[in-house]
Structure 1
């Protein structure tokens, strides 16, 4: 196959922070409809509760999944007839899957303080550059606001928020933190919405040339919400591993694609 696509330079790379900003704004503006809570933290940043004190909903999880992808993916809820007992599914597509999934959606930023621990995902990762992965991707971002998504049932302590602000070089007013417990419907949707990201991570692990991945689509069944964290993680992981399907469009020769 002939490559007719010019490589992207830093100046032409899409900004996951700028593209996701309208989605974050929509989530906040539609908080009542989406059954999420919005509050100002003592630090000055905005906290979106999508499953702790507020119930959230599947649509909130869908929108959060698109935020996690830095505005470079389209996520939809749809029916699925592959399984007898479960008929809800989430579909994901992106024409920039490497940036959407690995530079934004991947939960690769470990944040901890005392008993608090959570893996951060979303566009804030591309500002913080705390992972070696960004050197491999040769991707850096800028923006006037940012957002991080944490899979947690607790508001992070001030020390964690200060670290996020310090590493992203943002002021508190520029930061939104979205909290999505695994035991919430929004949490389940946004986790299973990583079905395409799991495939990209696998391709990266296999040393497949990421620059040869053109686009991708994924589909995974949505499991029921669990009452505890471990069961919830098991169900969402199984939904991706055993109830997920991904198709990647790649360029290059057949030998490379066979990997």
Structure 2
């Protein structure tokens, strides 16, 4: 990428920092618990001991998008029983979804494990993906969202501060258990991200992706981790819709649309919980091509033609959501 264009790319840390400050400032009304951990790190509990809620999850999802997207929740007639739809829009899908929102940073310390997402990933930028998209964000603060049900150990926070080359007091960790209301919202808000991630897996040139919109039904939280994980995944796999706007040849836009839906996977048709059980809980045995929206439209900006593939599967949602 031309260095002038690279220098003009937005900072996900700078754009999301006011959103983080607002989340902390409104912690009481959002039913969050804010504390200080090792070295003064800011720890936001959005569903472990704190109650959290839908609005907290919506705000956390926008933080995950690096301040480059909006998340809204509204009624929809798409499905008979599941009438609340979550919609995601972003002006820079690649940076918002892949450089920030994607849970790509593996964080392990003793028996603690989490996948880190959010703008702090782009500050670290050691995943191969960042070299491919030619992006690294250097900011004065870093925020990570962890889908966990317990506090991270001090040794992990110390290591994060060292890896990010920041004081621990410049680090914010937002904790969102999958089975919490906030956790449910922030995971379903990844419906656009899974489409971008699959486009990357299909080797579609990410530089051609200009804009994107995604939506999915908001499921009830699961009472346990496996149920909650299943419902949030099924929301995208069987009820999610994404519209991408791309540059480049029309025939390649059509090929992308045909390859993106979850129906292209060998595991499609069963709920995520059923698939997870069939593979005896081995997440990595599942077909990685499953993780994508149910229905996808791709518009070729050169010609204005749009291509739609895939379909919703309400019966699977009904089984999954209960």
* TM-score w.r.t. length of structure 2: 0.77
Give the whole-Å Cα distance in 2 for the aligned partners of 1:164 and 1:154.
Answer: 17
What's the counterpart of residue 3 of structure 1? none
What's the counterpart of residue 273 of structure 2? none
Q: Given the alignment of the two structures, is residue 91 of structure 1 paired with residue 87 of structure 2, yes or no?
A: yes
Structure 1 segment 1-259 matched on structure 2, within 5 A:
9-259=5-255
Give the whole-Å Cα distance in 2 for the aligned partners of 1:217 and 1:60.
Answer: 21
Q: Which moved more, 1:94-103 or 1:6-15?
A: 6-15
Q: Give the Å deviation of 1:61.
A: 0.3
C-alpha distance 209-57 of structure 1, shift in aligned 2 (>3 A): same
Q: Give the Å deviation of 1:172.
A: 1.2
Give the whole-Å Cα distance in 2 for the aligned partners of 1:208 and 1:78.
Answer: 32
Specify which structure has the bigger relative contact order, considering alpha-carbon pairs within 8 angstroms and separated by 6 or more residues: 1
C-alpha distance 233-239 of structure 1, shift in aligned 2 (>3 A): same
Give the whole-Å Cα distance in 2 for the aligned partners of 1:81 and 1:161.
Answer: 44
Q: Give the Å deviation of 1:162.
A: 1.5
Query: Considering only aligned residues, what root-mean-square deviation do their CA atoms show, in Å?
Result: 1.2
Give the whole-Å Cα distance in 2 for the aligned partners of 1:10 and 1:142.
Answer: 13
Gaps of 5+ in 1: 1-5
Gaps of 5+ in 2: 256-322
Q: C-alpha deviations, 1:191-230, integer Å up to 9, x for none?
A: 0000000000011011111000000000000110111111
Q: Which moved more, 1:9-18 or 1:179-188?
A: 9-18
Whether the aligned pair in 1 keeps the contact of 2:39 and 2:167 (CA below 8 Å) is: no
C-alpha distance 8-181 of structure 1, shift in aligned 2 (>3 A): farther
Q: Give the Å deviation of 1:81.
A: 1.4
Partner-residue secondary structure (3-state), 1:75: strand
Give the whole-Å Cα distance in 1 for the aligned partners of 2:137 and 2:152.
Answer: 24
Q: Which moved more, 1:131-140 or 1:160-169?
A: 160-169
C-alpha distance 254-8 of structure 1, shift in aligned 2 (>3 A): farther
Give the whole-Å Cα distance in 2 for the aligned partners of 1:159 and 1:41.
Answer: 11
Q: Give the Å deviation of 1:10.
A: 2.3
Give the whole-Å Cα distance in 2 for the aligned partners of 1:177 and 1:10.
Answer: 28
Partner-residue secondary structure (3-state), 2:148: coil
Give the whole-Å Cα distance in 2 for the aligned partners of 1:151 and 1:219.
Answer: 21
Q: Give the Å deviation of 1:8.
A: 6.6
Q: C-alpha deviations, 1:42-61, integer Å up to 9, x for none?
A: 33100000001111010100
Partner-residue secondary structure (3-state), 2:115: strand
Q: C-alpha deviations, 1:56-92, integer Å up to 9, x for none?
A: 0101000000000000001111112111211112100
Runs of 4 or more above 2 Å deviation? 6-10
* TM-score w.r.t. length of structure 1: 0.96
Whether the aligned pair in 1 keeps the contact of 2:101 and 2:118 (CA below 8 Å) is: yes
